Amino acid sequence: MSSLRTKAACFATLTALVACTSTTAVLHHPAAPHAKPPVAFARPTPPTIARENDLAGTRDWRLDVKRPGSIDGYAWASSVAAGDPLTLSVGSVHPFTGDVYRLGWYHGTGGRLIAKLPQFRAQPQPPCLIRGPRNTVTCGWRPTLVQVSVNTWQAYNSWGGASLYKRIGVRFPHATADRSRAVTFDRPYEWPGAGQIFDFEYPLIYWLESQGEDVAYGTDVDLDKGLDSLRRRRIFIAAGHDEYYSTNMRDGLTRARAEGVNLMFLGGNDMFRHIRFEDGDRVEVMYKWAREDPLATTDPKMATGDYRAATLDDPEQAVLGEMHQACPQRTADWVPTRSPAWLFARTGFTRGSVVRLLFGYEYDAFYPAFPAPDHVQLIARGRTTCGFPSSTLYVAASGAIVFDAGSIWFDCGLGPGCDDPWLRMPRDAEVPIHPSISVDPRLRRLVDNLLNRMLVERARAHVA
């Protein structure tokens, strides 16, 4: 006996999600000669579609032609299988609910109510943009992507006895010499087992969601694999300590910037190290000094090390607008320049304003001798024994705004977690200094101004 199974297609529109149904037809081979007569069966059950259409239908699925444009939205997938999730992006100036219908016959009513969705808050959306030489209309709804820096977490993770920085139980200098040159995601994190999320990303996550920002989350690995839907976004945010970048990651952000995606680096020491992945992105390779890497002679651009090192010769300042500054002095005051005016509007920053020790414990600075984008502006400066750490901003030729906070503690001024007593979480022991930085309403307003500019307005060729 052989069987043939056919399945009706699932699809979604802005008003209806049609459930999958299936029918099964059993095809028998002809009976062999002298075979026993077939067994008599009861009358067959009606096919699934027939049973489905005997259920109670409704005409409520019909569109209200008197209210065009009162709500807009689109599905993130053109079709899904029964039971699979479907993400919808919706724009509405009023709270809204949703009804899900299956379209069919239903004794002439034409549809059946499948589910009722709860009420959602109003979610106005930014205008859709016409992009590129082919004039493609693109709506980046759920427009903001926050990247969680798991590459950096894993680089510092010494669970099992070794990290990219040291070998546990071995004295200096052998601890450094015997460090890992590759680390795997197939192991736990050191206690408390959460990587560095409570040290760096959590304050930003807490604040963004408290403001009702419509954000999605991804990781460095998603960016490497191209799984983060980056080209659909308006804003990419890297939080905290986003140090380790593969070629695919950096190229992905460079392409996104060229297509008008805004980049916001709310940490410091970002994009400093070049890594590569192996074993399906489960192994992170980093020799730190390219001369140690076997690829240094055969494929030097894939060798691991610092982006600004001679082998790669591609300083991160070309993307960020500034780059990491190593210095024994681990902290410095953050002194705003109060320019551009739109960024500092209603922040409360005045002449002489300072955010104490916001630069730290790793920070960035602008290097005039290295390649940099045009028209980089200093948003804030500090002073150390090594130079002048800074926060920067520039606008790319595509109109994309690129902001670099230049401090891995910048997030501390946005949300709790850095010195807030209620978050009594154990911290990653590999983070050497824990700051005492309180939430600062002025910094919150500055980042809010930046988000609004990135979401709503097309940047000009120069920031006014």
- Same-domain pairing of 27 and 112: yes
Q: Look-up: residue for tokens 């902001």? A: 403
Residue 366 lies in a domain: yes
Residue 135 lies in a domain: no
pLDDT, residue 42, reads: 54
pLDDT, residue 389, reads: 98
- Same-domain pairing of 335 and 433: yes
- Same-domain pairing of 203 and 270: yes
Question: Percentage of residues in the chain with pLDDT exceeding 70?
Answer: 83
Q: How many CB atoms lie within 10 A of CB 252?
A: 22
Please compute the mean of the pLDDT values over residues 176-204 and round it to a whole number. Answer: 90
- Same-domain pairing of 405 and 342: yes
- Same-domain pairing of 16 and 63: yes
Question: Which of 30-34, 119-123, 444-448: highest mean pLDDT?
Answer: 444-448
- Same-domain pairing of 296 and 431: yes
Please compute the mean of the pLDDT values over residues 98-125 and round it to a whole number. Answer: 89
Rounded Cα gap, residues 151 and 155, in angstroms: 6
pLDDT, residue 26, reads: 27
pTM assigned to the model: 0.77
- Same-domain pairing of 335 and 376: yes
| Rg over CA atoms, the chain | 28
- Same-domain pairing of 73 and 164: no
Domain endpoint, select from 120, 150, 177: 120
Please compute the mean of the pLDDT values over residues 108-130 and round it to a whole number. Answer: 84
pLDDT, residue 15, reads: 33
- Same-domain pairing of 288 and 148: yes
Q: Please tell me the least confidently modeled range out of 46-55, 178-187, 414-423.
A: 414-423
For residue 237, the surrounding DSSP H or E stretch is: strand 235-240
- Same-domain pairing of 301 and 359: yes
The tally of domains found in the chain comes to 2
- Same-domain pairing of 295 and 401: yes
pLDDT, residue 458, reads: 44
pLDDT in tens, 244-254: 999 999 999 99
Please compute the mean of the pLDDT values over residues 325-343 and round it to a whole number. Answer: 95
Is the pLDDT higher at 433 or at 109?
109
Q: Which residue segment(s) compose the domain that 11 sits in?
A: 2-120
Q: With 80 as the cut, is the pLDDT of residue 402 above it?
A: yes
Is the pLDDT higher at 45 or at 34?
45
Q: Please tell me the least confidently modeled range out of 77-81, 100-104, 305-309, 370-374.
A: 77-81
- Same-domain pairing of 151 and 73: no
pLDDT, residue 420, reads: 64
